[in-house]
Structure 1
Amino acid sequence: MTHRPVTRIPGAALAACGIAAAAALIWWTAGGPAQQAPRTPGAETDSAMAEGTRARSPATPAVWDAPAPPVAAASDDPLLGPGLRDTLEALLHAAGEAPEPGLLKARLEGLIGQFFPPHVATRALALAHRYVDYRVALGRLQAPADLRDPQALRQALAARQKVRMAAFEPDEYQALFAADAQMDEYLLSRLEIERDPSLTADQKSAALQQAESALGPALQAQRSEAVAHVGLARQTADFDAQGMDATARFSARSAEYGAEAAQRLAQMDTQDRQWQGRLDQYQAAMGSGYSSARLAQLRSELFTPQEQLRLEGAMALRALPAQVR
């Protein structure tokens, strides 16, 4: 028997989730004001990170105030390599919250050597300072009133893109944001196509195929992998709804994916239950009037530094209505 391959479900699986959920998450967990942004008077800071170029259907209104730079080949610049944005986010997370941007920037000077090699540290610090300013600017943007409205999402992304393009040079923009641009635009295109009442079922299917074909080969592969992972997530949700025990789950998964994969999935079930349990504890504490200091202590007790980077996004997802998730 040939079993289907299974790997750990990645964050990219959001690209294959329900369209409303995926579009909403573009703002809350992949595109709006970022985590742990410096707090300035009058500026609210929520969680997010995302972008978009063009892969939309012909009926899509052109709401971008400025086009994104075209996706280019990877830079040879040692600073502007893959993972730059993640490294900057980790740097800011290590610096913690600060009452004003200047204090946060001062903290970064003592940390920069832990995240960037000496030969790019000076440039990296200057970039990190501008990244702080960019995050402050993002904190002043308003989230869309309806996270399921594609036009509202496009307008929000357009506003965010203006901030990004004003803050960074084209090669910096490329390194920081372009890797996710086409996939984010694809999600919005799908949302628009699905919600277009003028299209027949066949026309929607053709438009969706056209949107997917606009993705590059690497992103098409990522999309295919994500679809498979979401199928696994839905199967797990079905198992949960049926109250299926671990033995029955292992048997069903072994038949479809093989015993080794079924064992990995069982481990993932355990990890997810533990993660959800810790989220339950933290959510209960948030609703109990804990002080900011006590919540910070609880975060450090319940979650690893990497998990804390995901925390606000996870809580935002929980806040979405069940029918949107």
Structure 2
Amino acid sequence: MRRGLKIAGGAVAALVLLAGGAVFAGLQLADARMHRKVEVPLRTVAYSREAATVERGRYLFASRGCVDCHGANGGGRMFVDDGSSLRIRGANITTGPGGVVAAYQPEDWVRTIRHGVAPGGRPLLIMPSEDYNRFTDADLAALVSYVRTLPPVSGEPALVQLPLPARVLYGFGAIHDAAGKIDHGLAPAQPVAEGVNVAHGGYVANMCLGCHGAQLTGGRIPGAPPDWPAAPNLTPGEGTVMGRYADADALMRLFKSGKRADGTAVKVMPFESLREMSETDLRALHLYLRGLQAKPHG
């Protein structure tokens, strides 16, 4: 009996040591990954003060998720906080105290927004660059031009505080940073005619890729807090979420209200941005989604 207990105790101790070693190794790997240098191809975009360009940039900033992380004034905001070990704050992207962009050159904006890489080459942990990577050069230039007009406000740099398991998983490559999610050789999207058409709807749908996946079939959101639900399948077909939105008006009501047709609230969606989307963009998006080939969830 005692011999059996000793063997069991030894096995438990060995497992504890192995687990501790794995955690230590994961943290070391995470630190190395966070500080690696990522080289990306750059094609700079031109700043503009032209009113139409800045207005287009204002619309993109308001409707494509920027406000959800950086706030309407660009001063940054805490957008994830579980009250314990998970806290994520978007950076102050004005030139005010605590801002991070005062010294940005044109290539730095492209590196950060399109590639998820900080000016010095370090990967950004949290940045939806897999969505913005597909901006046309004109839209990227418009967005940057608008951000550069934001009045200086006081704020703080970005904060990414992850729980221990997430840091270990990141170290072993199970969770990717912003730069790790992107095909950096992908050419910028080419302009399409804006209107209620499939091509424009496909361009708008690029903003959905970060959560709903490259095929828009949903599934667990990579790196999301554990209490976040899986993203739904946006392709048509029996049992998918698109069955609730047979027409564009139903989808627009969801985006404007943050509630499903039955009145229940959707827990995870950037509605502060989505409610700012134009009717043209929303109708084109619905047209595109309804025309996708049906695929299984995830």
- TM (norm. structure 1) is 0.27
TM-score when normalising by structure 2:
0.28
Kindly indicate whether structure 1 or structure 2 has the higher relative contact order, using CA contacts under 8 Å at least 6 residues apart. Answer: 1
